[in-house]
Amino acid sequence: MSPSRIRSFLLCFTLILASGAALSAAPVLTWAGDPATTQAATWRTDATVTQAFAELQPAPDGIVKPAAQRVPARSEDLALEGEPPLRFHTVAFTGLTPDTAYAYRVGDGKTWSEWFQFRTAQAKAAPFTFLFLGDPQVSLREQWSRVWRQAWLTVPDAAFALLTGDLINDGRNDQQWRDWFECVGWVGATRPLILAPGSHEYMSAKLKKDAPRRISPYWRAQFEFPTHGPAGLEETCYFLDYQGVRFVVLNSQEKRTEQIAWLRQVLSGERPRWTVLAFHEPIFSGGRDRDAAHYRAAWKPVIDELGVDLVLTGHDHVYARSSLDSVPTGYPAAHDVVNRTVYVVAVSGTKYYPLSAGPWAVRKAAETSSFQAITVDGDELRYRAWTASGRPFDAFTLKKLPGAARNEIREP
């Protein structure tokens, strides 16, 4: 695209957002139900907007006409000390047809966004690719935006993106959230997000030192996730099934013990062929002096017992990745099993910590921002990682073998 066309696109996008108070940022897509038949969209406005809607229709091959299904939004006010009052609006599209493209727009009935487009998941197991990124956290507009864009340029067919927390540095800072949404931009309005809360979604300089830790009020206002997790962890601990994979998001910041029984229930009985776990603080640390023995003691026995295939984490601001045989067993010693799980720690932002991954990591890197793509296709799970510049630097393939107790791993 020529520079003049890029400038025209950006100007058009800015004018659309500035044309009224109905939309101050592009909507973001998430799931609170079945990805094959539902889709949620959330956007923010100032507090003067008294009503909000979305219009939806199957995406045409030509002009999108305004005669479409209109869905009223659920609105929620958020007013924090020192921040401007905001209103968040969420619509839940239900009864959708699997594997179908839909066009939608959001607004107040008079002022509308441009038309966006998304595609529902297939109702059965089918090949797909998703992106995984660790902590964005700092320098979002200046630095992280480059990584986010490069990820989608490199893997344009990714169905969605999964991020493992620390999206921002201060969970109560409205400008940081604005910067994050500006970076995500129109991609987040067309490709859904699966998000795990991180430590900085729980932290704020505005809270007293002895105040109880709680998730930022921005989290539930601007993201719509399932509420079937343990009591008190709604929308921060949940699972979704997508085309033959069960994605389970845990909350590593609170109520860790309460999540064990829930996780065992979610992973017991019949489930999709592949299981991916995502949470913020890693079972095996990649950073110096950051070992989380309490997470490992609580969660690894259940991960072993229930045969999780892949665990995706962040927090340590380094890159570290295990193989199958490299992960130490005996945590605790009484639960010493044949490991079948690959563990990954990654960072997409530019805040880095010293690297000390230990012998468990077969691939590691310091001061390296990265993005990862995972492709699931039948009995194979293919993992690829790139640096921020788009340089490939890690890859492996997991393969399920008939009757085998664990996966086979192939590495370059």
pLDDT given at position 369: 98
pLDDT given at position 196: 98
Average pLDDT over every residue of 239-246: 99
pLDDT given at position 13: 41
**Residue carrying the six token digits 């229709």:** 57
pLDDT given at position 288: 76
Sheet containing 28-30: order of strands? 28-30, 39-46, 86-93, 74-78
| Residue intervals in the chain for CATH 2.60.40.380 | 3-119
pLDDT given at position 194: 99
Extract the runs of DSSP E, i.e. beta strands, from 123-249.
128-133, 161-163, 193-195, 238-242, 245-249
| Residue intervals in the chain for CATH 3.60.21.10 | 128-410
**Which of the pair, 334 or 239, is modelled with greater confidence?**
239
At residue 30 the predicted structure's pLDDT band, cuts being 50, 70 and 90, is very high
318: left (phi over 0), alpha (psi -120 to 50) or beta: beta
The C-alpha atoms of residue 338 and residue 329 are separated, in whole angstroms, by 8
Angle at 350 between CA 31 and CA 360, to 5 degrees: 80
Task: Summarize pLDDT for 131-155 with one digit per residue, the tens.
Answer: 999 999 999 999 999 999 999 999 9
Please report, rounded to a whole number, the percentage of residues in the chain having pLDDT higher than 70. Answer: 89
Crossing angle of helices 293-306/256-267, nearest 10°?
Answer: 10
At residue 8 the predicted structure's pLDDT band, cuts being 50, 70 and 90, is very low
What is the 8-class DSSP label of residue 201? G
At residue 72 the predicted structure's pLDDT band, cuts being 50, 70 and 90, is very high
The CATH H-level superfamily of 3-119 is Purple acid phosphatase-like, N-terminal (2.60.40.380)
Task: Summarize pLDDT for 318-328 with one digit per residue, the tens.
Answer: 999 999 888 77
**pLDDT for residue 198 is more than 90:** yes
Structure tokens at 64: 């999108």
- Do 198 and 280 contact (CB within 8 A), yes or no? yes
**pLDDT for residue 229 is more than 70:** yes
Q: How many helices (H) and strands (E) does the chain have?
A: 6, 22
Judge if pTM exceeds 0.85. yes
What is the fold, at CATH topology level, of the domain defined by 128-410?
Answer: Purple Acid Phosphatase; chain A, domain 2 (3.60.21)
pLDDT given at position 177: 95
Task: Summarize pLDDT for 279-308 with one digit per residue, the tens.
Answer: 999 988 887 777 778 778 889 989 988 999
pLDDT given at position 357: 64
Average pLDDT over every residue of 12-41: 74
Structure tokens at 264: 């065992």
pLDDT, averaged across the chain = 89
At residue 329 the predicted structure's pLDDT band, cuts being 50, 70 and 90, is low
Task: Summarize pLDDT for 98-124 with one digit per residue, the tens.
Answer: 999 999 999 999 999 999 999 999 999
**Residue-wise DSSP of 252-273:** TTS-HHHHHHHHHHHHSSS--S
